[in-house]
Amino acid sequence: MDFRLPPEVADARRRMRAFVEAELVPLEPDLPPFASALPPAAAGTLVGRLKAAGLWALAVPRAYGGGGLGLVGLCALREALGHTTAWSLARLLGTEPPILLYDAGEEQRRRYLLPAIRGERSGCFALTEPEAGSDAGAIALRAVPDGAGQYVLNGRKIFTSHADEADFALVFGVVPEAGAAGAGGITMFLVDMDTPGLRIVRRIETMGGDRPCELVFEDCRVPAAQRVGDPGDAFALAQKWFVCDRIALQPPICVGAAARCLALALREGVAVPGEAGLLAIRLAAVREMLYHAAWRADRGEDVRHEASLLKATATTLALEVTARVMDWFGPAGMGRALPVERYHRDLRRFTIAAGTFEIQQYIIARGLLRGHAGIDVL
Ligand SMILES: Cc1cc2nc3c(=O)[nH]c(=O)nc-3n(C[C@H](O)[C@H](O)[C@H](O)COP(=O)(O)OP(=O)(O)OC[C@H]3O[C@@H](n4cnc5c(N)ncnc54)[C@H](O)[C@@H]3O)c2cc1C
């Protein structure tokens, strides 16, 4: 077996790391401590430089104008990005491909997917509701066909990241007539953020750079052509996104961040050697799991089980590493002169968003109990 990264992926990781050191690490002191945004002009400059460096959209399929490096490539790019606390700008940097829209219809691809890939329009993902998070099947937002070619949306969404910067939202709603079609009729819609009847009513301040929003839909009319897939299809379509998030979005950032913090502690001579050794062993194991799961996903295998294993392991390890490194530095560890406290605050989202740690444990156990996954791989 050849465990080496394909040369083009290894090269992309090296070049992204160089970009991180040259362009993003110097930005760290200027990033607001409780936000992950840049002034538009600075963001534009950064994107221009990233494109000029040939690092834009490398993990997007070639059919949509990307580099075709797949999930392995996305992991590599994002592992490099994890070496800066400015990783939270990832959505600006062509490293959050709009995977959910790969299944969209032709017109939707033209209006949403391709502009999103080019970085001209951005979307947000509106699933969670005040009364339905982990139990996403309990969402209550109604999408009722009006018999004249439109759906009428009524309900609320909460913790929708970047809704206040997005041009459109992918909204999950229940089409009551489609209940029998599967998954309680839960269906996905593309909704432009300026559609009448859709309002952002609150920005929720958090301990990190996240400021997710609460949205209200009141008689919000959406053309039937904005429905993605068939009624009742939403979770089947979203599965691909969850697997991508749990393998290629969250874990590689955790791996890069943990590596940077450990390296910093070792370099500064503050690391407790036995503990640092143990954390380094676990980090090496997570990195192997990461690329193995991504490689299997790129081969079209069902990796839902591995995605949960990885998310649960990588996200908790990163929090443990950042917490220990802060302790090793003493009070300075909490100071803003070092990147560690920022990592700790920003990475905290990963044990909650896209499925909590407990939900990953539940998915893993359910797979084992139902025989979809095994402890023994023989
Ligand atoms: C920073 C941030 C950004 C987010 N961005 C988005 C976004 O862009 N779009 C979006 O749709 N959502 C987003 N979310 C929401 C996130 O996905 C949900 O918060 C998460 O799925 C948990 O749902 P909940 O908030 O309803 O909590 P609950 O489901 O009420 O969970 C509360 C606690 O109970 C535990 N729990 C729940 N059910 C079980 C069970 N069966 N067994 C054991 N324990 C259980 C959970 O693990 C958790 O510890 C974001 C959240 C955060 C914090």
pLDDT of residue 347: 97
pLDDT of residue 314: 98
State in Å: Cα 2 to ligand 1 middle: 38
State in Å: Cα 242 to ligand 1 middle: 14
Q: Does domain 7-104+110-118 have CATH number 3.90.850.10?
A: no
> To the nearest whole percent, how much of the chain has pLDDT over 90?
87
Residue ranges in the chain assigned as alpha helix (H): 7-19, 40-52, 70-81, 106-108, 114-118, 234-244, 250-267, 273-298, 304-329, 340-347, 357-369
User: What is the average pLDDT score of the chain?
Assistant: 94
The domain defined by 123-228 folds into Butyryl-CoA Dehydrogenase, subunit A; domain 2 (2.40.110)
Cβ–Cβ < 8 Å for 47, 119: yes
The span from the CA of 292 to the CA of 26, in Å, is: 32
Position of tokens 């539940």? 362
User: What is the DSSP-derived secondary structure letter of residue 132?
Assistant: B
Pocket residues for ligand 1 (CB within 6 Å)? 124-128, 133-134, 159-161, 206, 210, 212, 349, 352-356, 358-359, 362
Q: Does domain 238-369 have CATH number 1.20.1250.20?
A: no
Question: Which structure tokens are listed for 202?
Answer: 């609150």
The span from the CA of 132 to the CA of 111, in Å, is: 30
Could you tell me the pLDDT band of residue 152, with boundaries at 50, 70 and 90?
very high
pLDDT of residue 257: 98
State in Å: Cα 250 to ligand 1 middle: 15
Ligand 1, from 159, 202, 249: best to mutate by most atoms within 8 Å of Cβ?
Answer: 159
State in Å: Cα 210 to ligand 1 middle: 15
Question: Which structure tokens are listed for 174?
Answer: 């229940």
Distance of CA 243 to the CA centre of its chain: 10
Mean pLDDT within 343-360: 97
Cβ–Cβ < 8 Å for 38, 92: yes
Query: Helix, strand or coil for residue 188?
Result: strand
Encode pLDDT of 280-306 as tens digits: 999 999 999 999 999 999 999 999 999
Where are the chain's structural domains?
7-104+110-118, 123-228, 238-369
Alpha-carbon distances, residue 49 vs 76, 92, 125, 304 (angstroms): 19, 12, 27, 35
In sequence order, the 6+-apart residues with CB closer than 8 A to the CB of 325 are: 261, 262, 264, 265, 270, 271, 333, 340
pTM greater than the 0.75 cutoff: yes
